[in-house]
Amino acid sequence: METVSTNKAFGGTQGVYKHASAVTGTEMTFSVYVPPHAEGAKLPVVWYLSGLTCTHANVTEKGEFRAACAELGLIFVAPDTSPRGEGVADDPEGAYDFGLGAGFYVNATEAPFATHYRMRDYIEQELPALIAAEFPADMERQSIMGHSMGGHGALTIGLRNTGRFKAISAFAPIVSPLNCPWGEKALSGYIGTDRAKWREYDACALIEDGARMPSGLLIDQGTADGFLENQLKPELLEAACRATWQPTTVRMQEGYDHSYYFISTFMAEHLAWHAERLKA
């Protein structure tokens, strides 16, 4: 692991790091905020997965999470959204919603994406091992959150790994890639046209198929979000959870859009919600 930069913030350290990933076959960059803590202490970890077009830098620079993490004693980890670099396949037409910056947190099986696009294994296996080795992280106390495509990632990774994560929340998540243009394009391109194979990457389908998060789900969604009706569809998640008795809170936030102005407004509330569920 190589340190790109470190800055003191709210008594802790905001760092940016990179490493050679064996999973993606590329160099990967991520950020970690470590709050002030007693020597030798192990701290709970909150994972934040970003949305389409983003890198680790979007939430690191705009998310306004450090004050809350310092107060609550939370490590905050922000990975990239896809592999990058020479030889990494991209959308042939240069679209923003597929390819670079749009890994959708899946393990691709279709050529040419299968070579590098293995973000599921990267987030579920490789990067957690690195965090455990290099930071004062209590890996028995982890939770996960995300925005938009990263909300989809947080929901699906969290629901597939309920023994690892104590809580899941999301800002404006893509709740059902099976039922929206973004998801249909990404999953067909990465996984192929057999929609049955998509279900492990769809939060609503996972819940319908038996996945449960006992501590509940917390979702914030802006009413002025331009992607609300065609891409995000929180009502599908509400229906799936209601039918299966999965505890879920969906808060429709009047007048908020899809931006980091929205995310930063409610970030501290989400982190406090996670901290409560991460208590030893």
Q: Which of 143, 148, 169, 215 is catalytic?
A: 148
In this prediction, residue 1 carries a pLDDT of 95
- The residue from 31, 225, 270, 274 that is catalytic is 225
Q: Which amino acid is at 116?
A: H
Counting DSSP H helices and E strands in the chain, the numbers are 9, 9
- Quick one: average pLDDT of 72-81? 98
Task: Let me know if 274 is exposed, middle or buried by CB neighbors in 10 A (0-12, 13-18, 19+).
Answer: buried
The CATH class that applies to domain 2-278 reads: alpha beta
Is residue 121 classed as helix, strand or coil in its secondary structure? helix
Tell me which amino acid residue 137 is.
Answer: A
pLDDT digits 0-9 by tens, 62-75: 999 999 999 999 99
For the chain, the structural domain boundaries read 2-278
Q: Is 225 a catalytic residue?
A: yes
**pLDDT (tens digit per residue) in 89-136:** 999 999 999 999 999 999 999 999 999 999 999 999 999 999 999 999
For the question of residue 19 being annotated catalytic, the response is no
d(CA 226, CA 228): 6
Residue 258 is among the residues annotated as catalytic for this protein: yes
